[in-house]
Structure 1
């Protein structure tokens, strides 16, 4: 079996082995995965952190040895907690995004295989609250399958946000709804609880984070703050309810 690591800021994961196929997820710098299948110019992978499967271009595949994979799998890598940080490799700078991992990080250096990277400045040690971290993403455009500050979907937003808190969430909203402790009503909710929303068939299709008993931050069109009541999300911009509230969970 082969193992890989993301050595680019963002790598798209596709539903099928084709550049024209739907992007269903993304890998961020430093995330690791197993290779489970290969087809010509494509490889099918399974992400270590949430078990998600999909196809990436072989041109974006970076192999790591089993020893390093096992080490990274069993040790928590440092997480980027700023919108962007700059890495320098062979005197060439490039940026990676919030939520990325820094493998084998030590004294402002990190390593991927034989490649050494230096941070252009020390990592901030911030004590941002969960809400302050969430607000870093405000106005990030919605992107189906996205997990970055350049474009993000509702469940990707929650997954990255809680990673910044040292917590691991599954990838999709319906999976996240199975986590945590059920809160019986909106009036008993608190800032940081996750609110889930369904469609007319009862399927969980959306998630956001409650920031007050009557407000929610979520990715819908862009990351924004909307009103929330027991019926669901009310968008003041369009003066309509956009999502039907079904469940509240405390992670």
Structure 2
């Protein structure tokens, strides 16, 4: 398979060409192309093994990332000047290749990105819940993986991958792959994960969770006991697992 790099800010990963979105990829994500067919490429994402289709012209030659976006979102400008025209918006977690740097900007193929919104590719945060909290207020989007729209499993994956912790893309796979199982009697603590059938949430504090959910259509804090009861009442079942990383 041929190695390529996502060259657009956010790209939908589709089940079939021109079909429904399963997940998203961000600028700089590395993929392996298994097949090209009439303007579409079937790929496997290097970060999590997720497979699907995307438009071939959303890919470019692979190049090593030098920095990543560590602000919730940022802009690339036409010049190294915050008053110049912005060209694109970039989400947290996007990877960029610097062609030049000043004391205030990183120059990329998409434009000039404020240096304060970037970190060296080797720098990683250590608290995944703190990363997830950067997405507070982000609109809910089924299959979304960016600051512009995200779902429950996307929120978990974005936080863990930023911290260098491998993480699948879907909540069912996350339930199987992540952490150690806790008993129902174990007190929850910050950083635990709660799973339901088709849903996942971070424990962010005492009786508090942080999750992207379709009831609020956003990433929100919600009292844990209230969320468990609400999800049960709306017919989506009980908590299926409590896990600690």
TM-score, scaled relative to structure 2: 0.79
Structure 1: gaps of 5 or more residues:
199-204
Name the CA shift for 1:79/1:250 in 2 (closer, same or farther; >3 Å): farther
Structural mapping, 1:70-109, within 5 Å: 78-88=67-77, 93-103=87-97, 107=101, 109=106
Q: Which residue of 139, 155, 158 corresponds with 2:156?
A: 158
Q: C-alpha distance in 2, partners of 1:15/1:128?
A: 33
Q: Name the counterpart of 2:229.
A: 234
Aligned to 1:192: 191
Shift of 1:88: 4.1
Please tell me whether the aligned partners of residues 87 and 110 of structure 2 are also in contact (alpha carbons under 8 angstroms).
Answer: no
In the alignment, does 2:172 pair up with 1:174?
yes
From 47, 54, 57, the counterpart of 1:56 = 54
Partner of 1:211: 204
Question: Does structure 1 residue 44 correspond to structure 2 residue 42?
Answer: yes
1:249 is displaced (CA, Å) by 1.4
Taking the aligned partners of 1:83 and 1:128, their CA distance within structure 2 comes to: 16
Check 1:170–1:38 CA distance in 2 against 1; reply closer, same or farther (3 A cut): same
Paired positions, count: 229
- Displacement of 1:46 in angstroms is 0.5
User: Over aligned residue pairs, what C-alpha RMSD do you find?
Assistant: 3.1
Partner of 1:202: none
SS of aligned partner of 1:188: coil
Partner SS for 1:159 = helix
CA distance in 2, matches of 1:51, 1:141: 26
Distance (Å, rounded) in 2 between the aligned partners of 1:116 and 1:16: 28
Asked if the contact 2:181–2:243 (Cα under 8 Å) also holds between the matched residues in 1, the reply is: yes
Q: Residue 182 of structure 1: SS of its match in structure 2? A: strand
Give me the whole-angstrom Cα distance separating, in 1, the residues matched to 2:73 and 2:143: 20
Does the aligned pair in 2 maintain the 1:17–1:39 contact within 8 Å?
no
Cα 1:225/1:82, change in 2 over 3 Å: same
Deviation, 1:43, is 0.8
Whether the 8 Å CA contact 1:190–1:212 is kept in 2: the answer is yes
How many Å apart are 1:24 and its aligned residue?
Answer: 0.6
Separation in 2, partners of 1:12, 1:51: 15
